[in-house]
Amino acid sequence: MGKKKILIAGLVGCAICALFPPRQYAGQSFNSAVTPTHCFLFSPKFQEFHLYDQGFVYGVGVDGGRLLAELTLIVAITGVCYLARKPGTRARVVMPKAIIKDSASGIVSVGDISVPGWVDDIKPCDHCGSRRIYHSDYDAYFCPACNVWVEHTCNDKPCAFCGKRPDKPLPNPI
């Protein structure tokens, strides 16, 4: 999970917690056997707790201590997930401007090198996040920014694709 997604999940958790805060009894009279449930903050009946089986209505308010504890727990979990993420993964690298795709001819130009294939607009490079290029001569994807193949060879010696595949997809890094 990306760092942005972790932070967004934490913010959504805090928002839900704040919109449906824990409640406590207000005033002197209360039933200690029953704890008021969470309720939508802007509900017209937020300040009432109905005990239907006995017909009683109790005054309630936000339980600030429990709300603070819930928010602290959400923030702590979000922080641990954020910090536990592997450093350096999916660091964004600017895609080289010298990539031109010609869909009609099936040729992708990377700098001054022409490659038969297409640009993958769906799955980015796992290392840098740049768009991958499919090289049809070698039946494999590569990252032009990292200048590495993103797929392993098939271990089949007479393979027409993997047997002739060079170590680096591009002779000169971009």
Domain of 18, in residue numbers: 3-84
pLDDT at 33 (0 to 100): 63
pLDDT along the chain (174 residues), means of 10: 77 81 69 68 73 68 80 84 66 58 80 85 82 88 88 79 83 64
pLDDT at 48 (0 to 100): 73
Looking at the structure, do residues 112 and 162 belong to the same domain, yes or no? Answer: yes
How far apart (Å, rounded) are the C-alpha atoms in residues 79 and 156?
Answer: 46
Are 108 and 114 a contacting pair, CB within 8 Å?
Answer: yes
Determine phi and psi for 63, rounding to 5 degrees: -90, 95
Q: Could you tell me the pTM of the whole model?
A: 0.45
Looking at the structure, do residues 12 and 46 belong to the same domain, yes or no? Answer: yes
Take residue 150 and report the two structure tokens written for it: 């993103």
pLDDT at 34 (0 to 100): 65
How far apart (Å, rounded) are the C-alpha atoms in residues 30 and 34?
Answer: 9
pLDDT at 50 (0 to 100): 66
Select from 22, 55, 84 the last residue of a domain. 84
pLDDT at 26 (0 to 100): 72
Are 18 and 71 a contacting pair, CB within 8 Å?
Answer: yes
pLDDT at 94 (0 to 100): 47
CA dist 119 to 30, 37, 107, 115, Å?
A: 67, 54, 9, 10
Dihedral sign (CA 144, 126, 149, 140): negative
Looking at the structure, do residues 65 and 129 belong to the same domain, yes or no? Answer: no
Instruction: Annotate the chain with three-state secondary structure.
Output: CCHHHHHHHHHHHHHHHHHCCCEEECCCCCCCCCCCCCCCCCCCCCCEEEECCCCEEEEEEECHHHHHHHHHHHHHHHHHHHHHCCCCCCCCCCCCCCEEEECCCCEEEECCEEEEEEEEEEEECCCCCCEEEEECCCCEEEECCCCEECCCCCCCCCCCCCCCCCCCCCCCCC
Looking at the structure, do residues 12 and 70 belong to the same domain, yes or no? Answer: yes
Select from 38, 65, 84 the last residue of a domain. 84
pLDDT at 91 (0 to 100): 47
Instruction: State the total domains in the chain.
Output: 2
